[in-house]
């Protein structure tokens, strides 16, 4: 059984590198700039992962309560899911710290559920179950040693156009309907904040320019949809709401 001091050291090293542990906690150099950056980055990274556990739950709840995925572009969801999956697989295969990519695993699960429910409430239940099981098998394959790292690198490079297309499709859908439909404001703003924070953590923890550029693009496009959320805030969330109101007026 590990001694309390050893256990504390193991836990604290989630946030410290070995060198920074010595510098700050042993030598008590509390203002070591590089180590403070490491601590801030790791703390932010784990904060993003913790937030990712619930980030898309409001979106899922909104769809299930409405029994509708109105306003959510399925193609956009699938492209976003592909980008998240590629990013998580790439970070895992590159052996980057879990704090630098871990949220991808939780976001992938929640995004796949959104796609499932959009299909399910379109009465495409067979397709919904085929999709969710196929996706699970593909993600497991990408995380396995069977897929060469070069392939994962290519997938990571493909994320930038995929994210751009998926977010722009959703933004166009919002613009066309002058509404954000069943999109959740909580989810949208958390995704924007998470992508923005990931720019810093990617620079600090991986130094991977491809990841940094990916998150800059993601931040910009999530910001666009967040802006639309504010712009169309007072728009009715259900187009049917106005229609049903008109019917009632006619009856009266």
pLDDT digits (tens, 9 = 90+) for 25-54: 777 777 777 888 877 888 888 888 888 888
Q: What does the pLDDT read at residue 151?
A: 94
Q: What does the pLDDT read at residue 225?
A: 93
* pLDDT range class, residue 249, cuts 50, 70, 90: very low
The candidate with the shortest Cα–Cα distance to 211, out of 167, 160, 151, 139, is 160
Q: How far apart are CA 202 and CA 207, in angstroms?
A: 6
For residue range 115-143, list pLDDT tens digits in order: 999 999 998 999 999 999 999 999 999 99
Q: How far is CA 152 from CA 46, 55, 81, 221, in A?
A: 24, 26, 15, 23
Q: Is the Cα torsion angle 205, 210, 216, 217 positive or negative in sign?
A: negative
Write the CB contacts of 88 (distance below 8 Å, at least 6 apart in sequence): 101, 104, 105, 108, 143
Residue 175 C-alpha from the chain's centroid:
22
User: What radius of gyration do the chain's Cα atoms show?
Assistant: 21
Q: How far apart are CA 175 and CA 132, in angstroms?
A: 29
The pLDDT of residue 201 is above 70: yes
Query: What mean pLDDT is reported for the chain?
Result: 83
5-19: average pLDDT: 63
């Amino acid at each position: 059984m590990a001694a309390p001091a050893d256990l504390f050291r193991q836990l604290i090293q989630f946030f410290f590198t070995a060198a920074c542990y010595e510098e700050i906690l042993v030598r008590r150099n509390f203002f070591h700039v590089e180590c403070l950056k490491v601590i801030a980055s790791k703390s932010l990274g784990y904060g993003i992962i913790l937030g990712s556990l619930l980030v898309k739950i409001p979106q899922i709840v909104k769809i299930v309560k409405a029994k509708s995925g109105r306003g959510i572009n399925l193609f956009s969801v699938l492209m976003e899911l592909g980008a998240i999956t590629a990013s998580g697989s790439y970070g895992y295969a590159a052996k980057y710290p879990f704090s630098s990519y871990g949220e991808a695993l939780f976001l992938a699960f929640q995004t796949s559920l959104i796609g499932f429910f959009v299909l399910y409430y379109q009465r495409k239940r067979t397709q919904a179950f085929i999709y969710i099981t196929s996706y699970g098998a593909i993600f497991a394959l990408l995380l396995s040693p069977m897929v060469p790292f070069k392939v994962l690198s290519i997938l990571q490079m493909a994320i930038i156009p995929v994210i751009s297309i998926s977010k722009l499709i959703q933004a166009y859908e919002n613009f066309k309907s002058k509404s954000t439909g069943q999109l959740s404001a909580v989810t949208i703003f958390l995704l924007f904040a998470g992508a923005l924070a990931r720019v810093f953590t990617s620079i600090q923890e991986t130094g991977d320019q491809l990841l940094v550029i990916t998150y800059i693009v993601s931040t910009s496009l999530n910001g666009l949809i967040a802006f639309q959320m504010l712009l169309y805030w007072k728009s009715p969330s259900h187009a049917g709401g106005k229609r049903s109101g008109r019917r009632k007026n006619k009856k009266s």
